[in-house]
Structure 1
Amino acid sequence: MRQRQQPVRSFFCAVMLATLCWGGCALNPMSHDAARPIPGGALYEFPLFNDQVTGIALSATGRLFVNFPRWGKDPLYSVAEVLPDGTTRPFPDEGWNRWGRDEATHPEAHFVCVQSVFIDRNDRLWILDAASPGFSGVVPHGAKLLKVNIDSATVEQVIPFGPEIALSHSYLNDVRIDTGRNIAYLTDSGTGALVVVDLATGTSRRLLADHPSTKAEPDYVPKIDGRELRDSTGQVPQINADGIALDPAGEYLYYHALTARTLYRIKTVYLRDPKLSPTELAKHVERLTETGAADGMVMDGSGNLFVTSLEDHAVKEYRPGKPLATIVQDSLIHWPDSLAISPDGYLYITDSQINLSPRFNFGKDLRIRPYRYFKSWLLPLETEQGTLRSLP
């Protein structure tokens, strides 16, 4: 069994903190380009952001995109590209990232509350706008999915979600794209459902909205650093279908409610069949394993699934028939949120520090600025049959 060395924190953190500029940018540590990767070795830390970061995506050439939801305050940008020198720029432009009194009258043309970003196999950036600032409810005409050409920084497609898809208390959370079939798959962590979008026609369907696989498990109480995750009223947050992943062939969709133990999957052929009734569709849901509370997921090109583990400050790997393997673990990663794999084989992890927010600390904000992302090099797994892992 492969073993990971203890992750090492970059000593450049001190330099980062000293050089952070309060306009929303900073310099990357020198190790961003200069470090020679050690398989299973150093966990590199990039404390770059003044705003709470959730989503992360990397292009085929290594361009890095992140997003900042509008939760407690207005972020400087909703979506940004992180440039090689560590500075950020709004993406695709200033207009989409502008939000104020004037822009509020046109939520369809501006980012309201972006939750996730994703790069597809054609190197297009997809931006999912949940349009629910502070989880206060979906702003009418604000929920949408954008397709962006990253070379020209132009929006090629906007798919709006009406109230029949983005319900008033929905929170569209994550997205995966099947470029071959021209289909998008989304999770709704607010009400609990999967959303399937025909990208050719722009039509969407809500599925498994009444199935336990998309719901938080009411009897489950996550514990982080020995503390139960409860708000100031003592309630455990009921966060539904959240993380999502699509296998390389586009045949299986994997998904997981956040405050739940269980990982599920379903064949996409059934999700794409509009003739199946909810009862018939439910018969095809497969229960895979218990992982504990999980937020983000990503799958590599060989079908190995990586899942964040909130209670262990870790990322774990799931392979059918094998026990979960810890890939990265460090208490510095307070809330491992979203995952991405770079072309050169690094696993990227954002830390949204949700457990340190005032909601879960009796009104005290314990979040540590600057917010950060991490990366660690993925060691190819060698077996008697050969290499099991390849890049996407």
Structure 2
Amino acid sequence: MKNMIIVILGLLGLTAQPVWSGDVKPYEILKKLDVAPGNITVTVDGRIIFSQHQFYQPDYSVVELTKEGSVVPFPNLQLNARSKENQGLHLDSALGIRSDSRGIVWMLDNGMRSNVVPKLVAWDTRLNKLHQVIELPIPVSVKGSFVNDFAIDEQRQRIYIADPANGKNAAFIVVDLNTKSARRVLQGHSSVVPEPIYLKVEGQQVAIKNDDGTLIKPLIGVNPITLDHNNEWLYYGAMSGTSLYRIKAQELANLKAQDSELASHVERYSEKPLCDGITIDQANNIYLGELAANAIGVISPDRQYKHLAESKELAWVDSFSFGAGRELFAVVNQLHRSAVLNAGEKTAKPPFLILKMNALNESVPGH
């Protein structure tokens, strides 16, 4: 299997050279879960908070792993109540989640379970109260939008959202946290739309079953996204793509810049495997989950790709978050075995996983 993966990566121009070798796993299983996680974040106070993936129809959208090891609704039960009786603010289908240096947890609710307007919901964990709500209505979002992952630019008071939409309409959404306004940029640009590369995991074609019974092989646009520690470069790419791109954050943050101007600042940075969420450390190592290989890998500052870990346990590594120092957390959610991506048949079985490992260099909590 390992030789086969190396051959496949070679065909893609990637090198699967392991950083760690031997029988000792470079990660530990921090928590086994009954419900599949989505994205994960760690606050400056060390609280571990994660979304539960909407593809599995969870009771609660966002939860916290307590120090005692239990999983409880975050920030409270009321905000997670999706009943028709709850007419107030609540989370419908939050997936993307990040925390900032002030202990504010930002939750990106795509609204797709109930077909409601997407929104950003920010909760102040230090004051234990709602900090901000920013809605993302049309035309900021579009028909088919799936606002998912994002990066926080505290220096410029911006949030950059990756919206893979329906592929051809993939784009960034740039949110101004000062004015609570947002705009859609680079829609349809070659760096955000998918390449015609279909994902197979464990030998099985990822497929979506339509209401009429027909199957489609999804091509997914921009999804992986992360901002470096100098707030200089935003790295991103299509999930269905073998290229990682970057653009200077100061350019993307410019609310007056036209798409043609922004496009001129896009750089192809490196090759990458098909992946979901990514993160970056202070030395500019970029971490990702290689979906087709059940692996965790890294793109080093020399722009070369290497495996950090490879195991059957790593069945769809979805997202990452740093804790203190070199602590790196990741979630495993078997998304290719969900009914949504497995032609209508759910074969995923608990346990789903939260992993913890030592990164190659340090970062800051929540990154």
- Equivalent pair of 1:296/1:339 in contact (CA under 8 Å): yes
| Deviation of the 1:303 alpha carbon | 2.2
* 1:224 pairs with 2:205: no
CA distance in structure 1 between the partners assigned to 2:154 and 2:103 by the alignment: 10
* Helix, strand or coil at the partner of 2:120: strand
Q: Given the two structures, how large is their TM-score scaled by the length of structure 2? A: 0.87
Query: What aligned pairs does 1:11-50 form with structure 2 within 5 A after superposition?
Result: 41-50=25-34
Equivalent residue, structure 2, for 1:22 = none
CA distance in structure 2 between the partners assigned to 1:231 and 1:197 by the alignment: 31
* 1:90 pairs with 2:73: yes
CA distance in structure 1 between the partners assigned to 2:158 and 2:181 by the alignment: 10
CA distance in structure 1 between the partners assigned to 2:223 and 2:80 by the alignment: 24
> After TM superposition, what 4+ stretches of structure 1 lie above 6 angstroms from structure 2?
none
Equivalent residue, structure 1, for 2:21 = 5
| Deviation of the 1:319 alpha carbon | 2.6
CA distance in structure 1 between the partners assigned to 2:318 and 2:215 by the alignment: 23
* Helix, strand or coil at the partner of 2:37: coil
Equivalent residue, structure 2, for 1:292 = 273
CA distance in structure 2 between the partners assigned to 1:174 and 1:251 by the alignment: 19
- Equivalent pair of 1:92/1:155 in contact (CA under 8 Å): no
Residue from 188, 191, 196 that aligns with 1:213: 191
Structure 1 unaligned regions, length at least 5: 9-40, 381-388
- Equivalent pair of 1:7/1:42 in contact (CA under 8 Å): no
Structure with greater strand share of residues: 2
- Equivalent pair of 1:264/1:288 in contact (CA under 8 Å): yes
Q: Which amino acid aligns with 1:61?
A: D
Cα 1:355–1:88 change in 2 (3 A) is same
CA distance in structure 1 between the partners assigned to 2:93 and 2:355 by the alignment: 23
Q: Which amino acid aligns with 1:54?
A: G
Query: What aligned pairs does 1:1-392 form with structure 2 within 5 A after superposition?
Result: 3-6=19-22, 8=24, 41-73=25-57, 75-103=58-86, 105-106=87-88, 109-133=89-113, 138-139=115-116, 142-191=117-166, 192-217=170-195, 219-232=196-209, 233-378=214-359, 380=360, 389-392=361-364
| Deviation of the 1:363 alpha carbon | 3.3
CA distance in structure 1 between the partners assigned to 2:342 and 2:19 by the alignment: 35
Structure 2 unaligned regions, length at least 5: 1-16
CA distance in structure 2 between the partners assigned to 1:202 and 1:246 by the alignment: 20
Q: Please, what is the CA RMSD of the aligned residues?
A: 2.0
- Equivalent pair of 2:26/2:308 in contact (CA under 8 Å): no
Deviations 1:27-65 (CA, angstroms, capped at 9, x unpaired):
xxxxxxxxxxxxxx4421245433221110011232100
Identity across matched positions, percent = 27
CA distance in structure 2 between the partners assigned to 1:129 and 1:7 by the alignment: 40
Deviations 1:264-298 (CA, angstroms, capped at 9, x unpaired):
11111211223322122111111122212110111
- Equivalent pair of 2:20/2:26 in contact (CA under 8 Å): no
Tell me which moved more, 353-362 or 196-205.
353-362
- Equivalent pair of 2:55/2:340 in contact (CA under 8 Å): no
| Deviation of the 1:341 alpha carbon | 1.4
